[in-house]
Homo-oligomer: A and B are copies of this chain.
Amino acid sequence: MVHDVRSRLSELRREFHRCPEPGWREFRTTARIVEELERIGVDEIAVGREALSTDQRMAVPDSSELEPWLERAREAGVREDLLERTADGHTGVVGVLEQGSGPTIGLRVDMDGISMTESDLAEHRPAAEGFRSEHEGYMHACGHDAHIAMALGTIEAIAGSGDRLDGSRSSSEPRSDGGFEGTLKVFFQPAEEISGGGKAMAEGGYLEDVDYLLALHVGLDHPTGEIVAGVEKPLAMAHLTATFEGASAHAGKAPNEGGNAMQAAATAIQNAYAIPRHSDGQTRVNVGRIEGGTASNVIAEEITIDAEVRGETTGLMEYMRTELERVLYAAAEMHDCDVTPRVISESPRADSHPALRELIGSVAREVEGVDRVIPSTEFGVSEDVTYLMNRVQDGGGLASYMLVGTDHPTNHHTPTFDIDERSLEIGVGVLSETIAELSRRPV
């Protein structure tokens, strides 16, 4: 049976792997998750705009970028009712399983792919075994396909363990010792890679009564068999874009006319990196992309930059964002240009709760396949799960973002990224045992 579960999880994961969709365009992925939830027979399925706060979505692409993916999903046979509920950038699902009285436990996974052409080398298993991305130019290169599979596996495991409120399971069946009593809500969050979906799902309503929130990521240099019970110190992050708008003029005949957006941008970049370090902790700033101007003999009228700031705390990130905005405005002023910085997306800092980490650690040690449990690690990057974690912890609940080790041949976000599918079962084991334990012995 162990083998069966493993192959089931692998199959699911491979199916999702074949169809990566970028943030806010997970139409087909959403539909496929809904099918599985229906098959499992959960008690409630909130799709798209039912699961999200429309106003809190960030980094939603233009309809010109959304439509082709919607159309592709339609052509792949996705049901019209699901397309309607997810249209206009409203992907994502929440599945709810009510199973007796007990705590409400949330499980959050992400579901989007990234813009990258997957390797077709023979040594890349997805290529060799026929589940390479069918959406050319896009790839599940961060393991979100595995996350979806684990989440579905966990619901199924929990659903099979207890009496159902709707009587779908005969009360005469014996309750297993490892059974779960309470409510399980599984959040399939869209648009994690662009930090766009976390806030919208945190504010979508389903998180309000959650007592414990579990979240996870595979890999990140932890091998198969290793579990990190909870990460700490993700950097809070904000991604901004800004266009300097000046006035063009002929660089030979009228160098003094107009406003030079090129000089404004250069001044801004120099001063952005020079924003003072902060005594409270680590900060970051980067201008990662720039584009503008038309020709060498024309004073540039328009230059656009893509920038980000980070901080060890949300406050530090906000310090950096405020300073960056000051720099942008002053640079524009200096060169007689206009600028309107726009925050594309952001994510706060949130830490895994020690008590919850401890429980996860003690459960994990007993799960088959787990060789090593690391109580905690510093994270160093950003993840918009922090919106959900803060929402729960601000309401008195506990949250932990755990890492499920998996051997990965190359780094995340590379064309040959892959996981060790043995880790899928381990992840399901840790998650379902932790959920069961929390219903038995709340922390």
Q: Which of A257-265, A416-424, A427-435 contacts B (4 or more CB under 8 A)?
A: A257-265
Q: Given contacts A270-B271, A331-B334, are A288 and B297 in contact (CB under 8 A)?
A: yes
What is the CB-to-nearest-CB distance from A251 to chain B, in angstroms, rounded to a whole number? 4
Q: Does A380 touch B at the CB level, under 8 Å?
A: yes
- CB-nearest residue of chain B to A319: B256
CB closest chain-B residue, reference A273: B274
B289 with A293: CB separation less than 8 A: yes
Min distance, Cβ A328 to any Cβ of chain B, angstroms: 9
Chain B min CB distance to A63 (Å): 22
Contacts of A287 in B (CB 8 A): 262, 266, 293, 296, 300
Kindly name the residue among A262, A335, A344, A382 whose own CB sees the greatest number of chain B CB atoms within 10 A.
Answer: A262
Check A299 for interface membership: any CB of B closer than 8 A. yes
In the bound complex, do residue A294 and residue B300 qualify as a contact, i.e. CB atoms below 8 Å apart?
no
Indicate whether A255 reaches chain B with its CB closer than 8 angstroms.
Answer: yes
Interface residues on A, range: 35 or more
User: Could you say which residues of chain B place their CB within 8 Å of the CB of A318?
Assistant: none
Stretch in A125-133, A134-142, A277-285 touching the partner? A277-285
A255 close to B297 (CB less than 8 A): no
Say yes or no: B262 contacts A276, CB within 8 Å.
Answer: no
With contacts A262-B269, A265-B266 taken as known, whether A278 is within 8 angstroms of B255 at the C-beta atoms is yes
When C-beta atoms are compared, the residue in chain B nearest to A411 turns out to be: B250
Q: Given A276-B273, A284-B252, A380-B252, does the pair A262, B239 have CB atoms closer than 8 Å?
A: no
Tell whether A300 pairs with B291 under 8 Å between CB atoms, given A235-B252, A252-B284: no
Cβ of A276 and Cβ of B288 under 8 Å apart?
Answer: no
Is there an interface contact between A289 and B295, defined as CB atoms closer than 8 Å? yes
Is A290 touching B273 in the complex (CB atoms < 8 A)? Answer: no
Is the pair A267, B260 in contact by a Cβ cutoff of 8 Å?
no
**In-complex Cβ contact of A380 among B271, B279, B381 (8 A):** B279
- A254-B274 contact given A292-B290, A293-B290, CB 8 Å threshold: no
Chain copies in the assembly?
Answer: 4
User: Is A336 part of the contact surface with B, judged by Cβ < 8 Å?
Assistant: yes
**Which residues of chain B are near A293, meaning CB under 8 Å?**
287-290, 306
In the assembled complex, A327 has its CB within 8 A of some CB on chain B:
yes
A286: Cβ under 8 A from any B Cβ: yes
Query: Does A330 interact with chain B (Cβ within 8 Å)?
Result: yes
Which of B253, B260, B276, B330 interacts with A260 by CB under 8 Å? B276
Q: How far is it, in angstroms, between the C-alpha of A270 and the C-alpha of B306 when the chains are bound?
A: 19
CA distance A335 to B326 in the complex (A): 8
Kindly list chain B residues whose C-beta atoms are within 8 Å of the C-beta of A381.
250, 252-253
A408 touches B (CB below 8 Å): no
Tell me the bound Cα distance from A335 to B381 in angstroms: 24
The contact of A255 among B241, B277, B303, by CB within 8 Å, is B277
Do the beta carbons of A255 and B271 come within 8 Å of each other? no
* Cβ A291 vs Cβ B290 within 8 A: yes
Give the CA-CA distance A380 to B329 in the complex, in Å: 32
With A253-B381, A255-B276, A277-B277 given, name 16 new contacts (CB 8 A).
A239-B297, A252-B380, A252-B381, A253-B380, A260-B273, A262-B269, A263-B273, A265-B269, A270-B274, A271-B335, A286-B298, A293-B306, A296-B306, A297-B308, A327-B334, A330-B334
The 6 closest A-B pairs by CB, nearest first: A330-B334, A273-B274, A251-B286, A266-B269, A289-B293, A296-B308
